Amino acid sequence: AMALVQELVQTPSVFTLVAALLVLLVFCLLSTNHKGKEPPGPRPLPLLGNLLQLDLKRPHLSLAKLYKQYGSVFTVYFGPKKVVVLAGYRTVREALVNHAVEFGDRDMQPVFHDFSHEHGVLFANGDSWKEMRRFALSTLRDFGMGKRGIEEKIIEEIHYVTEVFADFTGKPFDTTEALNHSVSNIISSIVYGNRFEYDDPEFQKMVYLAKQRIKLTGSPGINVLKLFIFLLISFSDQRGV
């Protein structure tokens, strides 16, 4: 046994891998053991956190079960990353309305930082976000937001989408595609001054790509990628790199 250990230690690649895994394990144990006064929640595993207890394809169902067990405020570890979950109308209102300043920032994921660079309305915080939000609201008002003009565009689009619904003659159907097309057409009417026909191939492609982009950002694969990026950044921060 000792000979085997000596042989492994003398092999640079194996020794480096084992050392890295040990350092990573220690880091994960330290990062998940600082309980303090954090809300209750399931006990996390090193590195994996509570991933084995969650359905990554339908995480809302897993979180709903934890809400029944731990209450309206609880802690969950998505891998090494700690997340405090707020559940229920009263709890969310208390946080976002009564403590809007404290809960005003967004969690900036590294996967979004590459293309947003912490600018814009969706993926930004602080002064940059406030400035872009003021600009966006001002511009949208110029385009008719909150005025009668935009109401007329919505009513016009409702006429087209009800025709699509009528084609199903009362049979069950998925409304997702028709509603995505109608909302996209309202935005197009406001920004470009015209709408698309629902069967326009170019329009269908744009709506499909937008839907796939949103679906991809919430997919299990991207969520796992976020965890490993977060782990690398956290490990670098601990070492002062």
Adjacent-strand bridge partners of 83: 76
Q: Residue 9 — pLDDT band, cuts 50, 70, 90? A: very low
* Cβ(159)–Cβ(195) below 8 Å: no
Exposure on the CB side of residue 59, measured as CA atoms within 13 A? 12
Amino acid 85: pLDDT:
92
- List pLDDT tens digits, range 104-162: 777 766 666 666 677 777 777 778 788 888 888 888 788 777 777 788 888 889 999 99
Report how far residue 44's alpha carbon sits from residue 35's, in angstroms, rounded to the nearest whole number. Answer: 11
Amino acid 86: pLDDT:
92
Considering only residues 14 and 140, tell me which one the structure prediction assigns the higher pLDDT: 140
Does pLDDT of 35 surpass 70? no
Does pLDDT of 5 surpass 50? no
Compute the average pLDDT of residues 197-201: 89
Compute the average pLDDT of residues 166-188: 88
| Per-chain mean pLDDT for the chain | 77
- List pLDDT tens digits, range 41-92: 998 887 788 888 888 788 889 999 999 999 999 999 887 778 899 999 999 9
Query: Comparing 17-31, 176-190, 195-209, 212-226, which segment has the lowest mean pLDDT?
Result: 17-31
Amino acid 63: pLDDT:
92
Find, among 50, 52, 106, 105, the residue nearest to 82 by Cα: 50
- SS3 at position 107: coil
Compute the average pLDDT of residues 153-176: 88
Q: Residue 228 — pLDDT band, cuts 50, 70, 90? A: low
H-helix or E-strand spanning residue 241: none
